[in-house]
Structure 1
Amino acid sequence: MNHPLTTHEALIYVMVMASAVDRTMNDRELGRIGELVQVLPVFKGFDEDNLIAVSRDCAKLLAGPEGLDIVLETVRDTLPARLYDTAYALAVEVASADLSVKAEELRLLSLVRDRLGLDKLTCAAIERSAIARHRKS
């Protein structure tokens, strides 16, 4: 990555982190990232053809020394504060895409919450809404 991240890229980095944290980026999670980029208003204007390249850039950073910390700092420094809760909601969506949130994903969500300075009540509401959306009848 030789340029500063855009807001869109930072949000995608959050989703890639949520998918990669357990060392397996499964098809369900990757599919959910693509769906979110296609339908959410926050991604308006993003060229979907760049999604794979942005995801690869993030994966490269994550694989390096202190990669997770670097990505978290980059995301925090790139996003306007008004999108911090959106970033957390995207991480929750991807973590819950396979209907099973693992310990590593829970730890990442905690790191994102702490790094972005989000309050626990806001995060609990986001998490609860994800549970409601993914519940089977």
Structure 2
Amino acid sequence: MAKIDAQSENALYNLVKKLAEEYSDFNAFLGYLLKIYSNKDSERDIRIMACLLTIRSSFIACVEELSRFTSTATPGKPYFSLLPQFLYHASIVEPYLKTIEEQYQELRSLFANEPETAKKVVEGLGEVLRSIEQTFDTIGKA
């Protein structure tokens, strides 16, 4: 992703909207996996459900925190006037993203011997997670 133009009035607001879209994709992958594993009871399946539920609860906390930012942010304000407020909210979200990443790695290891379709769903979840992290990095480096 290109460096943000500091003069762009809506740059930060647009990036936060992009994060919301990425979170929506992330939730779709989670929902699919939760549906598949919700009625299984082997130890491995319970571990998968524990990972998914931890990811989901961390995910919800991230979305709630970002919605606090978007509900108070005014589109059209200069990027740098919004940045401190966003960085405050991002600092609250960061531990949740770390938890999601840790649980994702555990999930990947649990899916190592699954059919290709299941692996692709987990990899899709990882791609969205990397995109979310990259967007946060872009915002912080602008």
Q: TM-score range by the shorter chain?
A: 0.3 to 0.5
Give TM-score scaled by structure 2 length: 0.34
The structure whose Rg is larger is 2
Give TM-score scaled by structure 1 length: 0.35
